[in-house]
Structures are given as structure tokens and as C-alpha cells.
């Protein structure tokens, strides 16, 4: 069963050309970053909230301009840690369709090459068209999967940043 799945994947990668390997690598990198952020929220985030709150509550006064600046600094630092690699994930999502388009261009070059060498043989042109369309589809599917993860993470980052701000109460 695993052997058949492996062979199917290899055949699919061969039909789509070398660009599919780059798309696959990009998707693995992107989802590694997504899972890292999910793991962060499950395992590490509580410590960040505790440390930030402890740092703020440890101050003797919390109402001066300086205290407000310290609070803003704590929030800014925490927001950076909360967001983590979100911008890198968004970049990966944006790159997926571009790699798909690169595969389309290389596949069309194969079609034109087949037409030049074999004079428009339908069988050789079909392989090139396949090589042109499969990377486009793969890049779009990869981007859609990344959008699901990115949407979840953006919402989580926004809510946890608001939670951090709310936990650092000001004295008036």
C-alpha cells in the first residue's frame, strides 16, 4: 500500500517536471513553520504571558509616561514573539502559485520544443501540456492549503496580542 502511494507520487512528480520538487520543498517548509507556530501556542505561549505580566506587575508604579512606554515595549516585544514566523509563512503561500507558473512556462517550452523537433506530434505535445498544467494546479493547491493555516494563525496572533495587552493593566 505504501509502495503504491510512493510510486504514484513519483509518477505525478515526473509528469509535472522538476518544478514540482521545488513546490513540494516549499510546502514542507511552509507547513513546518505553521506547525511550529501551533506548537508555540500550545506549549510556550503561556510562559510568555506569565513573564510579561510578572515584569509589568513587578513595577512599583504603572501610571507615568515612562511606565506607559515600558508597557508598550513589553507589548511590542511580546507581539513579535507571538507573530513569530507568520510573515515567512505568508511569503511561502505567495510563492506557491509563482512556482506553479514557473512550471507552466517550462512545460510550454517542452511543448514548443516537441513541435519544433517532431512537427506537432500530438503525443509528444500532450506530455508537454501535462507538464505545463500539473505545476500550476499543484502551486494553487499548495497556496490554498497554506491559506488555511495562515488564516488560523492570523486570528490566533491577533487574539493573543489583544490578550497580552489586556493582561498589562494600567494604573490611572
Report pLDDT for 110.
77
Could you tell me if residue 45 is inside a domain?
Answer: yes
Domain that holds residue 45: 2-167
Q: What pTM does this model have?
A: 0.85
User: What average pLDDT does this structure show over 114-120?
Assistant: 74
| pLDDT per residue as tens digits for the range 83-97 | 999 999 999 999 999
C-alpha distance from residue 73 to each of 53, 57, 83 (Å): 13, 14, 15
Report pLDDT for 69.
93
Could you tell me if residue 172 is inside a domain?
Answer: no
124 pLDDT more than 80: no
Q: Which residues contact 23 (CB under 8 A, 6 or more apart)?
A: 96, 99, 100, 103, 135, 138, 139, 142
Number of separate domains in the chain: 1
Report pLDDT for 155.
97
C-alpha distance from residue 53 to each of 10, 49, 169 (Å): 52, 6, 9
- Distance from C-alpha of 117 to C-alpha of 111, rounded to nearest angstrom: 10
Q: Which grid coordinates are listed for 148? A: 488555511
Q: What is the mean pLDDT of the chain?
A: 90
| Percent of the chain with pLDDT strictly greater than 70 | 97
Report pLDDT for 90.
97
| pLDDT per residue as tens digits for the range 132-157 | 889 999 999 999 999 999 999 999 99
Long-range contacts for 98-102 (Cβ within 8 Å, ≥24 apart)? 98/139, 99/19, 99/22, 99/23, 99/26, 99/135, 99/139, 100/19, 100/23, 100/135, 100/136, 100/137, 100/138, 100/139, 100/140, 100/142, 101/135, 101/136, 101/139, 102/19, 102/22, 102/135
Amino acid at each position: 500500500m505504501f509502495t503504491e502511494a510512493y510510486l504514484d507520487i513519483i509518477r505525478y512528480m515526473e509528469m509535472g517536471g522538476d518544478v514540482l520538487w521545488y513546490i513540494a520543498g516549499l510546502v514542507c517548509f511552509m507547513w513546518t513553520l505553521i506547525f511550529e507556530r501551533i506548537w508555540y501556542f500550545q506549549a510556550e505561549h503561556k510562559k510568555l504571558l506569565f513573564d510579561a505580566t510578572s515584569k509589568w506587575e513587578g513595577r512599583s508604579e504603572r501610571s507615568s509616561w515612562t511606565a506607559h512606554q515600558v508597557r508598550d515595549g513589553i507589548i511590542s516585544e511580546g507581539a513579535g514573539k507571538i507573530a513569530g514566523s507568520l510573515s515567512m509563512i505568508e511569503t511561502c503561500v505567495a510563492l506557491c502559485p509563482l512556482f506553479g507558473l514557473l512550471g507552466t512556462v517550462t512545460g510550454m517550452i517542452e511543448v514548443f520544443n516537441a513541435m519544433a523537433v517532431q512537427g506537432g506530434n500530438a503525443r509528444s505535445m500532450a506530455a508537454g501540456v501535462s507538464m505545463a498544467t500539473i505545476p500550476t494546479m499543484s502551486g494553487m493547491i499548495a497556496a490554498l492549503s497554506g491559506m488555511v493555516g495562515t488564516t488560523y494563525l492570523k486570528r490566533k496572533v491577533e487574539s493573543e496580542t489583544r490578550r497580552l495587552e489586556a493582561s498589562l493593566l494600567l494604573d490611572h
